[in-house]
Structure 1
Amino acid sequence: MAMARLRDYWPLLTARLTGAVRALLFWTLVYGYCGLCASIHLLKLLWSIGRGPGQTFQRLVRENPPACLNDPSLGTHCYVRIKDSGLRFHYVAAGERGKPLLLLLHGFPEFWYSWRYQLREFKSEYRVVALDLRGYGETDAPSHQESYKLDCIVVDIKDILDSLGYSKCVLIGHDWGGMIAWLIAICYPELVTKLVVINFPHPNVFTEYIFRHPSQLIKSGYYFFFQMPWFPEFMFTINDFKALKHLFTSQRTGIGKKGCKLTLEDLEAYVYVFSQPGALTGPINHFRNIFSCLPLKYHKVTTPTLLLWGERDAFMDVEMAEVTRIYVKSHFRLTILSEASHWLQQDQPDIVNKLIWTFLKENMRKNE
């Protein structure tokens, strides 16, 4: 009798043991790589202090925003307080009220200003809204790390649509905003008429690929480094936010390899926003919850989708773009732009805008 019961329970016990071992290996890898990344950054800090301690801890006080952040051609600064969380969100809106909504979700380390070219371009036919996500810019930043879980961010977008008086929108997301855009299309497909994602694969593709390909694991080292408390924020501030400037201007990762270059005023806009007291903690908290949220249980996308990808992306392997196709059960179009960086909508705005216009004006058929 005991042997018979053991045989009956053996598959369940095996499945549970296998799951426990996988979870142990997963979290060992996450925190082990987190420690490695932290060690590398600590060595960088010590090297910087050794070369010039005064310069390492130098930080300019930026009290007034650069003029480009108040450029009237970009739209109007607005605020909305949503019911579910009670948080106040900042956004910039262009185009007449009542026109179809085109909602723009930025990545990291960005804010609404990364959509300046699209705010000007699409306002002729859309109400264009470039949002500061939870914790970014002038949007409220809850203090608790758990407030930045992906399900909270998804509900934010749903509630913002309702607060703006819309039941659906064209949704465009870049980088981390692309991750959120995928999740909105998966969880609330009725809200999204068309989906445009820039330089971010389907979340499940990202999760599966990162642990199977060392090249992507290295490129995504910041995801693991950001699991550390306070130290990532501190590393961004040294040498007057040199790391932040480097992301947008270096030969390997920066904007302007081909197409538009980031002006000094544009760069100062980013540094101004993220140099404000506590301005980095909210954005980095988004990443501190990611490993507990992925992979997704539900992953099918039934919304017509355009995926745009800069081939010279220093943070994402281009191979993930093509694999994303298998998760989209509707019209799917992938366009890879050569010589373009991770910051695609700023790097090649004219081409990106043209591709988005073409996609928006098409009549889609399922399973194309």
Structure 2
Amino acid sequence: MPTFTLNSIPLSTGVTLDVATAGDPAHPPIILLHGFPESHRTWRHVIPQLSTDHFVIAPDQRGFARSSKPAQVSDYTPDKMVADLLALADHFGLTTFTLVGHDWGGAIAWMAALQNPARITRLVIVNAPHPFVFQRTLFDDMAQRAASQYIRAFRNPDFEKHVASIGLSAFFDGSFAAHTDLAKMAEEKPIYLDQWGQPGALTAMLNWYRASPILVPAMDETPERPAFLDGPFPPIHQPTLVVWGLKDIALLPSQLEGLSALVPDLTLVKVDAGHFVPWENPDAIVAAIRAS
């Protein structure tokens, strides 16, 4: 039986998002943001647990699944997704809320919390790098730079041709094989392939990478260092829980170095999982949220 309802919600930002909801709207609200290459299904094991005492909202973000897929790369700059988030909160009449983000959803959550401390009263990050730390490590940590070279591949305008040549099924296997036991994803695979096969979905998902301002140097490149890396960076003032799967091979432990200086009210929980913690170890996320 479904543990949530899924409805299409038009937003003031001009997009329509499919949004999963669960729990009593009178309970404290919590918004869950998924990352690449997923959807609200990222949270399929988390939503039922949190909905016992929260009003849970989990959108398919722009470009994913059956949500709107604007045509231009510029439609996927991070500020657009932050605007979608706030418009979604407005739709439900939420003055304040807890925000949870994984992967790209976490990147949007970091930015949203920095810019909107009066509305986002609590932040939960799951294996998503702080923007300052991530950009710094892409210059200073060659292991992280190597692990992030896939971003350069995703930004290649011919990447969709590559996926077409191998097929979505092989792309699914390649996306997850290095990160988890594919047998664990067997039941989900048809759902992913259906979502990725929606018209324009693959390009829309990849446009998140193409529109990002993050610089990912090639391994043999020595580009000019961004000036902001050697200056002060504004702190996150909200209570912030970071849940980190220690087996993540895409985001290395260097993402946690210096984080406490940028997030004074930080709780860090390290868990047994790879990058896709929400479905590899959902109980650990729920337990950390309840304990913090």
- State whether TM-score is above 0.5: yes
The answer as to 2:152 corresponding to 1:228 is: no
Which residue type is aligned with residue 213 of structure 2?
Answer: F
Which residue type is aligned with residue 165 of structure 1?
Answer: G
User: Aligned match of 2:212 in 265, 276, 290?
Assistant: 290
Instruction: Kindly state the Cα deviation for residue 298 of structure 1 after the two structures are TM-superposed.
Output: 5.6
Match of 2:276 in 1: 343
Match of 1:142 in 2: 70
Match of 2:223 in 1: none
Instruction: Kindly state the Cα deviation for residue 194 of structure 1 after the two structures are TM-superposed.
Output: 1.1
CA deviations on 1:300-351 (whole Å, 9 max, x unpaired) are: 200100111111101011121232221113x21111224x110011111122
User: Aligned match of 1:267 in 184, 189, 209?
Assistant: 189
Give the Cα separation in 1 of the matches to 2:275 and 2:132.
20
Mapping for residues 107-118 of structure 1, pairs under 5 Å: 107-118=35-46
Which residue type is aligned with residue 243 of structure 2?
Answer: L
Match of 1:355 in 2: 288
CA RMSD in angstroms comes to 1.9
CA deviations on 1:211-268 (whole Å, 9 max, x unpaired) are: 1111111111122122222x222323443321222322x2x32257xxxx62422122
Q: Find the residue that maps to 1:262 and give its secondary structure.
A: helix
Match of 1:245 in 2: 173
* 8 Å contact from structure 1 (residues 235, 243) kept in 2: no
* 8 Å contact from structure 1 (residues 201, 324) kept in 2: no
Instruction: Kindly state the Cα deviation for residue 191 of structure 1 after the two structures are TM-superposed.
Output: 1.4
Give the Cα separation in 1 of the matches to 2:110 and 2:19.
20
CA deviations on 1:6-54 (whole Å, 9 max, x unpaired) are: xxxxxxxxxxxxxxxxxxxxxxxxxxxxxxxxxxxxxxxxxxxxxxxxx
Say if 1:166 and 1:255 are closer, same or farther in 2 by CA, change over 3 A. Answer: farther
Q: Find the residue that maps to 1:135 and give its secondary structure.
A: coil
Give the Cα separation in 2 of the matches to 1:177 and 1:358.
22
Instruction: Kindly state the Cα deviation for residue 138 of structure 1 after the two structures are TM-superposed.
Output: 1.5
Say if 1:298 and 1:78 are closer, same or farther in 2 by CA, change over 3 A. Answer: farther
| Structure 1, unpaired ranges of 5+ | 1-70, 360-368
Give the Cα separation in 1 of the matches to 2:72 and 2:261.
36
Deviates more, 1:231-240 or 1:118-127: 231-240
Q: Find the residue that maps to 2:155 and give its secondary structure.
A: coil
The answer as to 2:5 corresponding to 1:72 is: no
TM-score, length-scaled by structure 2 = 0.89
* 8 Å contact from structure 1 (residues 255, 343) kept in 2: no
The answer as to 2:255 corresponding to 1:320 is: yes
Which has the greater radius of gyration? 1
Deviates more, 1:239-248 or 1:204-213: 239-248
Q: Find the residue that maps to 1:139 and give its secondary structure.
A: coil
Mapping for residues 293-312 of structure 1, pairs under 5 Å: 299-312=234-247
Q: What is the aligned residue count?
A: 278
* 8 Å contact from structure 1 (residues 307, 321) kept in 2: no
Say if 1:227 and 1:310 are closer, same or farther in 2 by CA, change over 3 A. Answer: same
Give the Cα separation in 1 of the matches to 2:95 and 2:8.
19
Which residue type is aligned with residue 2 of structure 2?
Answer: P
* 8 Å contact from structure 1 (residues 199, 316) kept in 2: yes
Give the Cα separation in 2 of the matches to 1:237 and 1:312.
30
Instruction: Kindly state the Cα deviation for residue 101 of structure 1 after the two structures are TM-superposed.
Output: 1.0
User: Aligned match of 2:203 in 265, 281, 301?
Assistant: 281
Match of 1:60 in 2: none
Which residue type is aligned with residue 355 of structure 1?
Answer: A
Give the Cα separation in 2 of the matches to 1:124 and 1:335.
22
TM-score, length-scaled by structure 1 = 0.72
Say if 1:346 and 1:255 are closer, same or farther in 2 by CA, change over 3 A. Answer: farther
